[in-house]
Structure 1
Amino acid sequence: MHARIAQGFTLIEMLLAITIFALLGVAGFNILSSTTTANDISMQHGEKLAQLQRAMLIIERDFSQLSRRSVRIMGEAPQHSYLSHGELILDSDSQVLAFRRNGWTNPNNLLPRSEIQSVAYRIVEENLERMHFLHPDPVKGEDPKERVLLEGVEAIEFEFYDRKTKSWVNKWQQPDLPAGISISLKTLDFGEIKRVFAIAGGES
């Protein structure tokens, strides 16, 4: 009877097995990396979308509290409109909308300020900023408080609804509030976004 000779793996078989396991490892890593990248992109998109929603809520809150008080910017004479709208003012890279709003809470008048807040929206370095001043009629040299509402905004445009002519206009110089305000944002992440806000009591 012949003894059975135990045989192991040959060198070629070992190399082939190592190669197969290496390829499987690379494939698994690539799948994991792709999944992680997709999750990161999804999270970033979700954060930007949440930032956009917060910005629109803040704008809507401001517009719901618009005050019938003439606008006065940095010590200039009061204007004949409740809104100040123009290009490249207040160091903006795009259009600006300035106004007064009511409802700036000051419990028991503890703070030395009015409940009327001076607010402006502008674009600086591709950021949509909300500015507000301590006083309703800010004096020249007064530093505003600035808050970035939305990043990646190249331009902003405002339009105003004239109830009398039943049309949208790109300038507002009427001695009353418009019936509606339209905001168009040119963004890097979402393209062009347009929102329309109804103004309570506008042109009443």
Structure 2
Amino acid sequence: MMNIRPDKTCGFTLLELLVALTVFSIMSLMTYTGLTTVLNSYSHAKEKTEQLSELQAAFTLITRDIEQAIARPVRNSYGDSEEPMVNDGEAIGTLLEFTRTGRPNPAALPRSNLQRIAYTLDDNKLMRLSWAVLDRAPGSEPLESLLLTKVKSASIRFLDKNMDWQEDWPTKTKQEQESGVIKVPRAVELTIELEAWGEIKRLFRVPGNEYYGKPNGV
């Protein structure tokens, strides 16, 4: 007569399976949440780093432009005379327009080292416009460069020779008008509000060169 022994192979009960699945689900959720947090933190840090680099590059360029400003008036594309530095230029949304020296010429071409620069605020974007010629012909188009995005507002004011702040430029005195002496301000202050950084103020020194008299035709 054969003896039939009961199978003693161990296995999971239904309750044990449910507990194991629950623990696994919790651990998976914790791992996913932790990984998501790390990825979000990395993405946020990367975005902030890019925004900071963009801001630093913009201020570096603006500093280089303004610190090479000179008192050289020009004619716009309509044939009208414009002062060396103004805050209501021809371009829409102009914050500041001026003449600067130091235009790069790596090929040593026979041309002027002066150029006309404008900064505009359009559709929450701070743009830099540059003209290759000072006295522009009708239809002259500037080279446009994007400096900053997500700009909520921007404003300019000027420090005059008496160390007083002016909202508009130029503010020529009667003596300056009679003598033909054209000046640029001592400094330009830019106040800009960005979505990422809030309000930022920067002061840019202007050399203060004077142009005595006006060039032919201006």
TM-score by length of 1: 0.87
- Does the CA contact (< 8 Å) of 1:123 and 1:154 recur in 2? no
- Does the CA contact (< 8 Å) of 2:191 and 2:199 recur in 1? yes
Which residue is equivalent to 1:168? Answer: 165
Match status 1:43 vs 2:59: no
Distance 1:3 1:158 in 2: 93
Which residue is equivalent to 2:104? Answer: 105
Distance 2:45 2:107 in 1: 46
* Deviations 1:113-157 (CA, angstroms, capped at 9, x unpaired): 421011100011111000001211222211110000111113221
**What letter is aligned with 1:191?**
G
Distance 1:62 1:109 in 2: 20
Q: If you compute each CA radius of gyration, which structure gives the higher value, 1 or 2?
A: 2
* Deviations 1:28-78 (CA, angstroms, capped at 9, x unpaired): 111101110111011001101110000000000001111220143223322
| Offset, 1:108 | 5.8
Which residue is equivalent to 1:131? Answer: 129
Q: With CA pairs under 8 Å and 6+ residues apart, which has the higher RCO, 1 or 2? A: 2
Alignment of 1:130-149 (within 5 A): 130-149=128-147
Which residue is equivalent to 2:95? Answer: 96
Which residue is equivalent to 1:82? Answer: 84
Distance 1:29 1:107 in 2: 54
- Does the CA contact (< 8 Å) of 1:179 and 1:202 recur in 2? no
**What letter is aligned with 2:46?**
M
- Does the CA contact (< 8 Å) of 1:104 and 1:116 recur in 2? yes
**What letter is aligned with 2:200?**
I
1:116 to 102, 114, 117: 114
Distance 1:109 1:96 in 2: 32
- Does the CA contact (< 8 Å) of 2:115 and 2:133 recur in 1? yes
Structure 1 segments unaligned to the other structure (5+ residues): none
Match status 1:24 vs 2:24: no
Distance 1:4 1:154 in 2: 77
| Offset, 1:190 | 1.2
**DSSP-derived class of the 2:77 partner:** coil
Return closer, same or farther for 1:202/1:179 CA change in 2, 3 Å cut-off.
Answer: farther
**DSSP-derived class of the 2:87 partner:** strand
Distance 1:91 1:162 in 2: 25
Which residue is equivalent to 2:153? Answer: 155
TM-score by length of 2: 0.82
Distance 2:152 2:76 in 1: 24
Structure 2 segments unaligned to the other structure (5+ residues): 173-181, 211-218
| Offset, 1:84 | 1.6
Distance 1:70 1:39 in 2: 49
Distance 1:104 1:47 in 2: 28
After superposition, the CA RMSD in angstroms is 2.3
